């Protein structure tokens, strides 16, 4: 993803990315080389007008934070939890934002900002693009700087092919969001995969146990019934005012047998999601993100333990080096906002992922990818 955007005078330009959530907007400003220059964070105003207004304000804020003005910006990318039609630049059913009907968000924000080109994307897709961008730039050095960014930890060498520079793999990953729900964004060989109906990455609704609990989607034993924040809050309700995943891990660490069992089932299901992603598309990294991933290193440890346990019974799985492919989303960078800015760098519609990926709007997937984070 090395395309650069140009501003209206034709010079290489900065781009802005916004990660628009139900309570806050995170903003990022990238320079022409893709370097992170400034970030911002402000409260989201709800409703169509509110979303446009606060997105415009976030854009101006992050540009001003870098001592620049809007003329330096060649493109804006937005990540938003709703049903996005990337080709049309619209969003609908963004329930947490108070947006129900189709909102021509790209057009409205562009008009509010003097005509800067705006692209709109699903929030998980921008997170995947952002994670790829950060991994690409930080590369193998990251592990030495960030304890929780474990690119070289454990040896990506297990799956690196001889003669291929490590950098070639950084734009090949699944961003696995463990949030209220569970879903994934996919970047393969540097290209965002939306799928022909915008449903790529909806792995939360793949059943893995016919005897499992009923899922909100109508099926039984979906990955989401074991892995999501909702599932954890049901299995281990918060009792001491901390988030349920935190209390669960603390209780398990303290030796509570029930907590150990619940945590194990959770870790095994995350491991199942990782295994499924790798066996289906063989991505180089699976990056754990979303609210539950704020657990950080302890989450990574239990998931890797489960993957190692799986590999013990299967030489085939062992050959794939799954524990080494899993990593945590960087916690010191607003990955989704960065990913949105990367997409905003593509100043030509033609530079969006090609025909099929770019042209197909998402169908009405009630309660799915929009809940992933």
Q: Smallest gap, in angstroms, from Cβ of residue 182 to its own copies? A: 11
What pairing do the DSSP bridges indicate for beta strands 326-328 and 285-289? parallel
Q: Is there binding between residue 359 and its own copies (CB under 8 A)? A: yes
Residue 197: CB atoms within 10 A of its CB come to 12
Per DSSP, the three-state class of 41 is: strand
Q: Is there binding between residue 191 and its own copies (CB under 8 A)? A: yes
> According to CB under 8 A, which residues from 311 to 340 bind its own copies?
313-317, 319-321
Stretch that binds its own copies, among 32-40, 129-137, 235-243, 360-368 (CB under 8 A): 360-368
Q: Smallest gap, in angstroms, from Cβ of residue 126 to its own copies? A: 17
> According to CB under 8 A, which residues from 270 to 289 bind its own copies?
272, 275-284
Q: Is there binding between residue 155 and its own copies (CB under 8 A)? A: no
Q: Which is nearer to its own copies, 58 or 283 (CB)?
A: 283
Locus of tokens 């991933």: 293
Per DSSP, the three-state class of 42 is: strand
Q: Is there binding between residue 360 and its own copies (CB under 8 A)? A: yes
Per the document, the length of the chain is: 373
Which residues are CB-neighbours of 306 under 8 A, at least 6 positions away? 264, 267, 268, 270, 271
Q: Which is nearer to its own copies, 50 or 213 (CB)?
A: 213
Residue 231, burial from CB neighbour count under 10 angstroms (0-12, 13-18, 19+)? buried
Q: Which residues are paired to 18 by β-bridges?
A: 27, 78
Q: Is there binding between residue 128 and its own copies (CB under 8 A)? A: no
Q: Which is nearer to its own copies, 164 or 254 (CB)?
A: 164
- Backbone dihedral region of 214: left (phi > 0), alpha (psi from -120 to 50 degrees) or beta? beta
With CA atoms as reference, report the closest residue to 244 among 235, 256, 257, 255: 235
Cα angle 180, 186, 190 (rounded to 5 degrees) comes to 145
Q: Which is nearer to its own copies, 10 or 315 (CB)?
A: 315
Residue 307: CA atoms inside 13 Å, Cβ hemisphere, count? 26
Q: Is there binding between residue 187 and its own copies (CB under 8 A)? A: no
For residue 364, CA distances in Å to 132, 235, 278, 361, 367 come to: 28, 29, 27, 9, 9
Asked whether 15 and 345 are in contact (CB, 8 A), the reply is: yes
Cα angle 20, 23, 27 (rounded to 5 degrees) comes to 35
Number of residues binding to its own copies, judged by CB under 8 A: 70
SS (H, E, C) 283-352: CCEEEEECHHHHHCHHHHHHHHHHHHHHHHHCHHHHHCCHHHHEEECCCCCCHHHHHHHHHHCCCCHHHC
Among 89, 179, 289, 353, binds its own copies (CB under 8 A): 353
Q: Is there binding between residue 46 and its own copies (CB under 8 A)? A: no
Q: Is there binding between residue 230 and its own copies (CB under 8 A)? A: no
> According to CB under 8 A, which residues from 202 to 221 bind its own copies?
202-203, 205-211, 217-219
Q: Smallest gap, in angstroms, from Cβ of residue 245 to its own copies? A: 23
Q: Smallest gap, in angstroms, from Cβ of residue 21 to its own copies? A: 23
> According to CB under 8 A, which residues from 64 to 93 bind its own copies?
none
Among 27, 179, 201, 229, binds its own copies (CB under 8 A): 201
Q: Which is nearer to its own copies, 260 or 365 (CB)?
A: 365
Q: Smallest gap, in angstroms, from Cβ of residue 202 to its own copies? A: 5
Provide the token pair at 244. 């349920």
Q: Smallest gap, in angstroms, from Cβ of residue 300 to its own copies? A: 20
> According to CB under 8 A, which residues from 162 to 181 bind its own copies?
162-164, 168-169, 171-172
Q: Which is nearer to its own copies, 6 or 219 (CB)?
A: 219
Q: Which is nearer to its own copies, 111 or 360 (CB)?
A: 360
Chain residues binding its own copies by CB under 8 A are: 159, 161-164, 168-169, 171-172, 184, 186, 188-191, 193-203, 205-211, 217-219, 272, 275-284, 310, 313-317, 319-321, 353-357, 359-361, 363-368
């Amino acid at each position: 993803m090395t395309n650069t955007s140009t501003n209206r005078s034709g010079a290489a330009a900065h781009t802005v990315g916004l990660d628009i959530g139900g309570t806050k907007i995170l903003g990022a400003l990238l320079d022409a080389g893709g370097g992170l220059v400034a970030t911002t964070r402000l409260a989201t105003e709800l409703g169509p007008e509110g979303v446009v207004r606060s997105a415009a304000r976030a854009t101006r804020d992050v540009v001003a934070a870098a001592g620049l003005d809007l003329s330096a910006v060649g493109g804006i990318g937005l990540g938003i939890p709703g049903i996005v039609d990337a080709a049309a630049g619209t969003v609908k059913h963004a329930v947490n934002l108070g947006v129900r009907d189709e909102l021509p968000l790209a057009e409205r924000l562009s008009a509010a900002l003097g005509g800067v080109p705006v692209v709109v994307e699903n929030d998980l897709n921008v997170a995947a693009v952002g994670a790829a961008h950060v991994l690409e730039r930080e590369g193998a050095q990251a592990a030495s700087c960030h304890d929780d960014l474990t690119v070289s930890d454990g040896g990506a060498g297990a799956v690196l092919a001889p003669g291929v520079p490590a950098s070639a793999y950084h734009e090949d990953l699944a961003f696995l969001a463990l949030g209220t729900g569970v879903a994934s964004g996919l970047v393969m060989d540097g290209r965002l995969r939306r799928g022909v109906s915008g449903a790529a990455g909806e792995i939360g609704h793949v059943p893995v146990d016919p005897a499992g609990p009923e899922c909100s989607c109508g099926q039984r034993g979906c990955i989401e019934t074991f892995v999501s924040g909702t599932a954890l809050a049901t299995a281990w309700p918060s009792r001491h005012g901390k988030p349920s995943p935190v209390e669960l891990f603390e209780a398990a660490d303290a030796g509570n047998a029930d907590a150990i069992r619940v945590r194990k089932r959770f870790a095994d299901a995350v491991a199942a999601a990782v295994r499924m992603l790798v066996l289906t598309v063989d991505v180089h990294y699976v990056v754990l993100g979303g609210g539950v991933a704020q657990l950080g290193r302890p989450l990574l440890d239990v998931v890797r333990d489960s993957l190692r346990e799986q590999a013990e019974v299967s030489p085939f799985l062992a050959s794939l080096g799954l524990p080494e492919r899993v990593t945590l989303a960087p916690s010191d960078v607003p990955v989704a906002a960065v990913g949105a800015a990367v997409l905003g760098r593509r100043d030509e519609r033609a530079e969006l992922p090609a025909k099929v990926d770019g042209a197909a709007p998402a169908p009405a997937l009630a309660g799915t990818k929009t809940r992933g984070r």
